[in-house]
Amino acid sequence: MTERTPLLHYRLSTSVNESEPRPPPAGQAPEQHPGSPRQRSTQQRQPKKLSIFFGVVIPTLLSMFSVVVFLRIGFVVGQSGLYQAIAMFLVAYFIICMTVLSVCAISTNGALDAGGAYYMISRALGPEFGGSIGIMFFFANVCGCALFVLGLVEAIVATFGVPEDGTAATTAYQVLPSGYWWSLLYGTGVALLCLLVCLVGAHIYAKATFLIFLVVMFVLGTIFVSFFAVPPRTVVLPSSANPTANGTGPVFPTTANFTGFKLDTLLGNLWADYTVDYTTGTTMTFATVFAVMFNGCTGIMAGSNMSGELKNPSYSIPRGTITAVIFTFIIYNLLCVLVACSCDRVLLQRDYSFLRDINIWHPFVTIGVYSSTLSAAMSNLIGASRILYALARDDLFGKVLSPAKKTSHSGNPWVSVLISWFLVQLVLFSGKLNTIASIVTIFFLLVYAAVDLACLALEWASAPNFRPTFRYFTWHTCVLGIVGCAVMMFLINAIYASASIAFMLLLLLLIHYLSPTSSWGYISQALIFHQVRKYLLMLDVRKDHVKFWRPQVLLMVSNPRSSVGLITFINDIKKSGLYVLGHVQLGDLNTLPSDPLQSQYDSWLSLVDHLNIKAFVNLTLADSVRHGIQHLLFISGLGGMRPNTLVLGFYDDCLPNDKLIDPSLSTIQCTDPLGPLQELEQQPPLFHFSSLRGSSDRQDYGEFGDGKVLGPQEYVAIIADAMKMLKNVALARYFNNFDRAQVLSPPSSSPGKGAVYVDVWPVNLLRPDSSSYVDTCSLFLLQLACILNMVRAWRKATLRLFLCVEQGRSVRGSEEKLGQLLKELRIKAQVYPVPWDQQVALHWQRQGEWGKKQQSQSPDTTEEEKKQKAEMEEENEDDYVNSFPSNATRLSDDYLSAVNKLILDTAQPAPAVRFLYLPRPPADTRRYTTYLHQLELLTQDLGPTLLIHGVTPVITTDL
């Protein structure tokens, strides 16, 4: 691992955006904290880190000069002409300047570690973008290294190679055999030399590059002097520039002129003249020439790649990179002008080594070519190894890259260097520089676009912690950089560009689904927050319309272990609306050392992920369950996204079943006295919920609650509170064992031959004397059943609507009226008339019995009968006095049991779920227990059932 930064850098890294400490890889010593004795001894052994000049300016200059300045400047002018050549450099430098501004902004926003552009992108955009772009940048550096090696081989063969066509050598030192396999051998040797230097370490590389820098600057000086000092001369073109000189094809000139500064020469080089490239045999275009030229601009990340070796990356990278960019831009344009004024077009097109032939001393240019290309190759190789090491250390690809984590005692990632060198060796089989120039250019353009995207995302997210000290950028420069990179990618080669983007997106998806969660932060979350806040402010509740109503559900859950079936079912019924899982924990914050809910969020969010539902989690601390639910109904949601429907489990004695048992832990036998606690800590967050209560405890407000924390009185009061707050209410019963997959895929041998039914009873069964199918609550039942039927998994289910009718009423008329209503509401359902005269008779029989008892009470009535009479009189008085509707009328248990049996016997085969009408709780709170008892008798043994009460209109027949 590389040496730690100074103390100031360390403090910045711990407070700004440094990633959390990583565990040491296998086979590697643990990472030491700054200031520890072992770390101090390591710092004493390691050389000092690099300064701005040695670490940024020199690598960037050498990478940007490299091949283009010595071997391709004439190629660019000769093919495209002076005007288009300058235009190419302007476009290229405009793109890279936009990118440099983004690099400077990100690099001055906090502490940087090893990895360069990958580190910046991953910490800015998150692991998905960072990992995918990091791999692309790694491949770009690998291909760039191979490109520079091939450029060096081309220069060596041009100087020392024997002509391939068998003609006699023109100089005594042309002794090296030529050909594809010989060139591959020479390239392998150069790559091995780069490997040896990079294995020693970055500091040896920095010293070597300084010497190379001096040589290159001296050679550039001699080139500029040569344009003025060397007299006009005739240059013999290389034999490979005339491959068809045997008379079977067009004959090209064998010589060309260096004319010195002449106006005619300049005029002849102003406009483009694209011809066949004599090294590859393909016809050049603006895009192919630009691709080759742009490789002279791809070195802007050479300094960023050394971020782990710099003393102060945030200070050095902006200043060093901008200095190198300005210097190279001036040199390139001066060379273009001088070449266009003094060299024939034929010389520029047919001899890529012409600068050697017109120099005051030929070996100078040869030395410069060898030095610059070798330095650029080493720069790309060491940059690729550092990127691969950073990727491996971040564990984004698991064990695939784990060997690349290994480092030497001095911190040099030698395994990463070897892997990078091996891939470079594979790329060398391509054979020609111009062959891979397009691929390298597209890779680098993609990375530059990603850097601009990272800066743009940080700027648009308006994150308070994004405050770089470099302020000479705006979101406009980022957009221009992205657009410029994208346009040039597709102009160069649309197929390569599309394949590169597709490969990057594939990597992005793989990392998103397979890599562990990181602690770097996700720019997507910041952008989503920014946009959601804006749209929430635009979501005006005053503009709500019934046509666009959707259920927004608050489902109260105490222990998810027994509520999995209900949670998944409500997820189906929400119809893209808001879905909130609510939980109330009893307690008083005054008596607690800290908020106990903070540690529970991970478990609840893991539950949401495990069940693959789209829900939020809202937890609250209260002195009672009723007050807690009031809190959640008041404060859940924001703006127009607030729950409008409260769902509770039913209050009964059903024994819950644990649906979150981890089978891998159920067989563990622990003998340690602290075993249960340790076992709980070892479990994933999904299994941190408390165990279920025993059979002796009473089922409270559904599938959530601990034994006796809630009584029937408080449970019904919660229902009444919700209705007072104009919230729709649903009570869910018998969902403990609900299995969505099993319900929706019944065996074909079952009654109904595998059909799935959803039953709706849109009548208030507790008020048979005032039954109506078109009130708000009945229509709400129809709406929810229809919504469930619209969900993809429930589309094959059949809606059955049961119409309760009495003798003396027109059954056909009621059925037709209801059918017409369903047609207007666009609800497809089967209507079944259900006679219930016997059940209604039981109801009226009870009314008559109570009336007779009131009239026939004798003076010698017993005390018990007097008490019963007083209660009945009080009930009658309440029915008339209370303006709040009371549905807890005098209903006998016989009537409720008869209605329950009617539902069971009529609905055959049994449905997957039933929707029943939930009447309002009585106005008299003393009758809450009776009301709950009536609901229990009504829904006895019905299977999964929703008792629903709607308080707001949710359905319309208008367009």
pLDDT in tens, 174-205: 778 888 888 889 999 999 988 888 888 767 77
Q: Is the pLDDT of residue 258 over 70?
A: yes
Amino acid found at 715: Y
How many Cβ atoms are within 10 Å of 653's Cβ, its own excluded? 9
How many Cβ atoms are within 10 Å of 702's Cβ, its own excluded? 28
Q: What is the DSSP letter of 834?
A: E
Mean pLDDT across 209-214: 87
What would the pLDDT profile of 588-626 be if each residue is shown by its tens digit? Answer: 888 888 888 888 888 899 899 889 899 999 999 999 999
Class of residue 273 by CB neighbours under 10 A (exposed 0-12, middle 13-18, buried 19+): middle
Higher-pLDDT residue of 705, 435 = 435
Class of residue 430 by CB neighbours under 10 A (exposed 0-12, middle 13-18, buried 19+): middle
CA gap 945, 685 in Å, rounded: 31
What would the pLDDT profile of 663-685 be if each residue is shown by its tens digit? Answer: 444 333 333 443 444 444 445 67
The helix or strand, by DSSP H or E, that contains position 732, with its residue range, turns out to be: strand 728-733
- What is the pLDDT, as a whole number, of residue 944? 92
- What is the pLDDT, as a whole number, of residue 336? 93
CB 123 within 8 A of CB 451: no
- What is the pLDDT, as a whole number, of residue 80? 93
Residue with tokens 């077009």: 345
- What is the pLDDT, as a whole number, of residue 807? 67
What phi-psi label fits residue 66: left (phi over 0), alpha (psi between -120 and 50 degrees) or beta? left
Q: Is the pLDDT of residue 26 over 50?
A: no
Peptide bond before residue 909 is cis, with ω within 30 degrees of 0: yes
- What is the pLDDT, as a whole number, of residue 557? 92
Question: If you average pLDDT over every residue of the chain, what do you get?
Answer: 78
CB 760 within 8 A of CB 799: yes
Give backbone dihedrals phi and psi of 24, rounded to 5 degrees, phi first: -70, 140
Alpha-carbon Rg for the chain in angstroms: 40
Give backbone dihedrals phi and psi of 947, rounded to 5 degrees, phi first: -90, 120
- What is the pLDDT, as a whole number, of residue 254? 82
Max mean pLDDT range (73-82, 531-540, 675-684, 890-899): 73-82
- What is the pLDDT, as a whole number, of residue 129? 78
Mean pLDDT across 710-718: 92
Q: Is the pLDDT of residue 878 over 50?
A: no
CB 665 within 8 A of CB 687: yes
Banded pLDDT at 334 (limits 50, 70, 90): very high
Banded pLDDT at 887 (limits 50, 70, 90): very low
Query: What percent of the chain is predicted at pLDDT more than 90?
Result: 21
- 616-622 and 645-649 strand pairing: unpaired
Mean pLDDT across 729-735: 93
Banded pLDDT at 456 (limits 50, 70, 90): confident
CA gap 861, 171 in Å, rounded: 139
Q: Is the pLDDT of residue 703 over 50?
A: no
Mean pLDDT across 871-881: 45
Class of residue 166 by CB neighbours under 10 A (exposed 0-12, middle 13-18, buried 19+): exposed
Max mean pLDDT range (381-395, 426-440, 663-677): 381-395
Max mean pLDDT range (113-127, 508-522, 711-725): 711-725
Q: Is the pLDDT of residue 890 over 80?
A: no
What phi-psi label fits residue 231: left (phi over 0), alpha (psi between -120 and 50 degrees) or beta? beta
Q: Is the pLDDT of residue 373 over 70?
A: yes
- What is the pLDDT, as a whole number, of residue 464? 76
SS (H, E, C) 119-185: HHHHHHHCHHHHHHHHHHHHHHHHHHHHHHHHHHHHHHHHHHECCCCCCCCCCCCCCECCCHHHHHH
Q: Is the pLDDT of residue 156 over 80?
A: yes
Q: Is the pLDDT of residue 223 over 50?
A: yes
Q: What is the DSSP letter of 660?
A: -
Mean pLDDT across 644-659: 86
Max mean pLDDT range (65-74, 632-641, 688-697, 718-727): 718-727
Q: What is the DSSP letter of 616?
A: E
Residue with tokens 């890599």: 515
Nearest to 901 by CA among 940, 947, 945, 930: 940
- What is the pLDDT, as a whole number, of residue 810? 57
What would the pLDDT profile of 787-800 be if each residue is shown by its tens digit? Answer: 898 888 888 889 99
CA gap 579, 678 in Å, rounded: 34
CA gap 366, 373 in Å, rounded: 11
Q: Is the pLDDT of residue 853 over 80?
A: no
Q: Is the pLDDT of residue 224 over 60?
A: yes
- What is the pLDDT, as a whole number, of residue 252? 73
Banded pLDDT at 210 (limits 50, 70, 90): confident
- 798-805 and 757-761 strand pairing: parallel
Mean pLDDT across 287-298: 81
CA gap 633, 554 in Å, rounded: 8
CB 285 within 8 A of CB 493: no
Mean pLDDT across 143-148: 88
Class of residue 299 by CB neighbours under 10 A (exposed 0-12, middle 13-18, buried 19+): buried
The helix or strand, by DSSP H or E, that contains position 582, with its residue range, turns out to be: strand 579-586
CA gap 625, 712 in Å, rounded: 12
How many Cβ atoms are within 10 Å of 710's Cβ, its own excluded? 24
pTM: 0.64
CA gap 882, 897 in Å, rounded: 28
CB 558 within 8 A of CB 700: yes
Give backbone dihedrals phi and psi of 244, rounded to 5 degrees, phi first: -110, 35
Class of residue 315 by CB neighbours under 10 A (exposed 0-12, middle 13-18, buried 19+): middle
- What is the pLDDT, as a whole number, of residue 582? 94
- Please, what sign has the CA dihedral across residues 97, 103, 108, 109? positive
CB 773 within 8 A of CB 819: no
CA gap 712, 110 in Å, rounded: 58
- What is the pLDDT, as a whole number, of residue 958? 60
Query: What percent of the chain is predicted at pLDDT more than 70?
Result: 78
Q: Is the pLDDT of residue 523 over 80?
A: no
CB 256 within 8 A of CB 237: yes
- What is the pLDDT, as a whole number, of residue 915? 94
Higher-pLDDT residue of 31, 495 = 495
Which residues 6+ apart lie within 8 Å of 376 measured at CB?
A: 62, 63, 65, 66, 67, 144, 148, 299
CA gap 100, 125 in Å, rounded: 18
Per-residue CA distances from 572 to 606, 730, 827, 917 (Å):
19, 15, 18, 20
Coil, strand or helix at 54? helix
CA gap 311, 308 in Å, rounded: 8
- What is the pLDDT, as a whole number, of residue 244? 53
Mean pLDDT across 804-832: 75
Mean pLDDT across 921-945: 91
Residue with tokens 């359902």: 829
CB 350 within 8 A of CB 70: no
Q: Is the pLDDT of residue 225 over 90?
A: yes
Higher-pLDDT residue of 243, 551 = 551
- According to DSSP, the residues that pair with 668 across neighbouring strands are none
Give the lowest-confidence range in 2-6, 318-322, 508-512, 636-640: 2-6
Banded pLDDT at 947 (limits 50, 70, 90): very high
